[in-house]
Amino acid sequence: MQISEPLLARILRYTIYVSAFMPLIIFSQFISPFHFGKVVVFRSIVELMVVGYLLLLWQDRSYRPKTNIIFWALLAFVAAFSVTTLASIQPYASFWGTLERMGGLWTFFHYFLFFIIATAVLRKQEHWETFLTCTIATAILSALYGFGQKTNISFFIGSGGRERIFGTIGNAALFAGYEIVNIFLALTLLLRPNNSQFKKIVYGTGVVLGSLAVTMTVVRGSLLGLGAGLLMFSLWYFLKTNSRKAKLVLLSLATVASLFVVILITPLKDASFIGNSKFLRRVTDTSFESFTAKTRFWAWQAGLKGWSESPRRILLGWGPENFNIPFSKYFNPKFFTGYGAETLFDRAHNMFVEVLVTMGLIGFITYVGIFFFSFRALRTIRHAQTDNYIYTIGLSSLIVAYAIHNAFIFDTSANLLVFFTILGFIAFLLMRGKDRDITASPQPVRINPALRFIVGSLLAITALVLIYRTNIIPSKANYASTRGIIAGWANDFSGAVVKFTEAMNYNVPGRYEIRHRFGQYLLEYSGAKQQTPEVESAVKLAIDEITKNRDENPADYLPLLYLSRLNINLGRGDAKSPYNDIALQHSLRALEISPTFIRTFYEIGQGYLNKKDYESAIKYFKQAAELNPEVGLSYWYWGIVEITRGNPDEGLRVINMALDRGYAPSESDYLNLAQQYVARKDYQALADIYERLVKLNPKNSEYYTSLAVAYANLGRVDDALAMARKAVTIDPSLLPSAQEFARELGREL
């Protein structure tokens, strides 16, 4: 007998279908445009769905959550996530996550609730087919958006002939992981019997475009995962079906894999056709000696040192969203190669290491348990019905490919949504009966309609208030902060301060990053401008706000460095200013938290420079140089202070060490240094400096004139005249003086 579906169940079902398109959301005018919008929209949808689902349960108890090994595996991980959040070194960050990644326990709860509702409401094969088709269609659209990033069409954010596309996900590696899951899902559904022509086109398109998109990301770990998954799929499918097409695909993949291995282990790796192709050059660069590979290993080592620090950390970790804490505590100085170097990893770039370090053994075991019990479920499914083999083959290959990919990156919103979708589908396959649907007799609940209306209204109001407080207000704060950033770009200082102040006053999750954005803007502005009462007032406001970050995150060195630099700017020019002492208090405390972070030594050195305590400044710049002897910047600072304190010989010796290590001074740096060489009459060094300056600014006639003089003093007359002629070419008014210069050398210009 046909059982009618309650209206609420239909509404929830269509809402689930709509949620499949969440990965396409981009909030282009917000901080973290590719993650923030997706999460706040998804959380809002789930919070409304929860209201509908509770009312549905009140109407028909047959829609109770469906329990199975997938459900229990996820529940165990959620429990571990919750426990480690409570035990976290910074519980607020663990619960709310960061503005950039939008993770944390609160958001993760929503994925689990989504899983519960989806597995309870999507009861029929056709329900899941529609949902999965929407999921694959979304991946196709995201891939097409990524292809648009190879063009110069401004509609596509990130366009302009981008070398590595990132679709609507915002990061090439995350985009590759998202597409990988959809590729195997589409391939699995494509090879099922009895597909309509339309579905064959959608699924086939998903496989082809998804594979092309992953290739165009040029993410080596993702390509490895995709290749391994496809090899596993084609081998298993061939052994099961003895299909000629599967055999052909298997042989083709094996040939490609063999050729790749041959290239890696033979001189072919250095062939010109490899070197001339950016794609081939990148994918064949598997050396552990590459800087990118080294930074990954250094980050993992730092995290694992932090994890093994104590029994508490081994069991419970440092807390979700807190990988940056052990990373900073055991920071490898080799990360720092100069300003602009990537020195802060808030993720391990390996989900297994990430979970182990931040959630300890209880998190790691339950996380691995999700994969293990998914395989167990797929094995059970294979034995349940003879036509289930394609699901076992396809989804097992999907999990293997995704696990390999996750060994080199981390999960974010779009990736989690599609992965939970797959887990929900596996749970459905595990629970469905012989009629290919989940059968459940209605269990109606008799309730007073008025009471139902009142309770429903209260639930709806609660959900709307929650949405407003946790999604809409953070969105307003995020948007206000970007208005502040844009005002800063337009040199509207007052407007920038007003909008940043508005953003900070909302005092919502994400405030950590907003406060630091404000501090960063003021550091750039106040460092380049003369202090005025308006600027000083804004700097003091930033100090007050970032002090809150320091108090809320006592194990984090970053707020301390912001506070140190802001106070250094206030104390600049006054050796007796109390701001210099305050700056040193902050930077010395930051050094206690992260004893090997080189930038901290620079802040301490600058604080002592403000106080004109040159001995102490040199001490810390010298220690920075000792931590990583390959960084020229440390020697440059050290050498400049030596000169400032009246020790030019030592200063110039150290500065030459900086130049030997590749430090590239600015024009003003070179000009200041030139004055030292002029005083010493070191014309060879002077010539070296002006040779560098004419390369930096080839249209400055004064540089050529000075270089000509240096050459003349070195006896290099021909070179001196050549530089004089070059100066005249740039500035013809110099001709008379250049002719006189040539005559003094006994030549004619």
Nearest to 182 by CA among 421, 443, 424: 421
* Angle subtended by helix axes 614-627 and 632-644, to nearest 10: 160
Phi-psi region of 360 (alpha: psi -120 to 50; beta: other; left: phi over 0): left
- Cβ within 8 Å of residue 474, ≥6 positions away: 40, 506, 508, 509, 510
The pLDDT of residue 452: 85
Specify the 3-state DSSP secondary structure of 1: coil
Nearest to 118 by CA among 43, 3, 9, 5: 9
Q: Report how far residue 548's alpha carbon sits from residue 515's, in angstroms, rounded to the nearest whole number.
A: 9
What predicted TM-score, i.e. pTM, was given to this entire model? 0.90
pLDDT in tens, 183-220: 999 999 999 888 899 999 999 999 999 999 999 999 98
500, 502, 505, 506: CA torsion to nearest 10: -110
Q: The tokens of 124 are what?
A: 């029929």
Specify the 3-state DSSP secondary structure of 78: helix
CA dist 42 to 120, 167, 649, Å?
19, 19, 64
**Helix, strand, coil percentages, rounded to 5, for the chain:** 75, 0, 25
Alpha helices in 448-554, H assignment, sequence order: 449-467, 473-489, 493-505, 511-528, 533-552
Burial code (b: 16+ CB inside 10 Å, e: under 16) for 628-637 equals beebbbbbbb
Helices (H) then strands (E): counts for the chain: 34, 0
pLDDT in tens, 485-523: 999 999 999 999 999 999 999 999 999 999 999 999 999
Phi-psi region of 296 (alpha: psi -120 to 50; beta: other; left: phi over 0): alpha
**Type of residue numbered 74:** L
Q: Report how far residue 347's alpha carbon sits from residue 417's, in angstroms, rounded to the nearest whole number.
A: 19
Specify the 3-state DSSP secondary structure of 444: strand
Q: Report how far residue 334's alpha carbon sits from residue 349's, in angstroms, rounded to the nearest whole number.
A: 18
What count of residues does the chain have?
Answer: 749
CA dist 730 to 56, 108, 525, Å?
81, 64, 34
Per-10-residue mean pLDDT of the chain, 749 residues long, equals: 77 97 96 96 98 93 93 98 97 95 95 97 94 98 96 89 91 96 96 90 97 94 94 92 87 86 74 71 70 88 96 97 96 89 87 97 97 94 73 95 93 94 95 69 77 91 97 97 96 96 96 96 81 90 97 96 95 92 97 96 96 95 96 94 88 91 88 85 89 91 93 92 93 91 86
Q: Report how far residue 460's alpha carbon sits from residue 467's, in angstroms, rounded to the nearest whole number.
A: 10
CA 223 to chain centre: 19
Q: Report how far residue 581's alpha carbon sits from residue 66's, in angstroms, rounded to the nearest whole number.
A: 62
- Looking at residue 60, what DSSP letter applies? B
Phi-psi region of 167 (alpha: psi -120 to 50; beta: other; left: phi over 0): left
Q: What is the DSSP string of 592-624?
A: HHSTT-HHHHHHHHHHHHHTT-HHHHHHHHHHH
CA dist 528 to 386, 522, 523, 600, 634, Å?
72, 10, 8, 21, 22
pLDDT in tens, 79-97: 999 999 999 999 999 999 9
Burial code (b: 16+ CB inside 10 Å, e: under 16) for 297-328 equals ebbbebbbbbbeeeeebeebbbbbbbbbbbbb
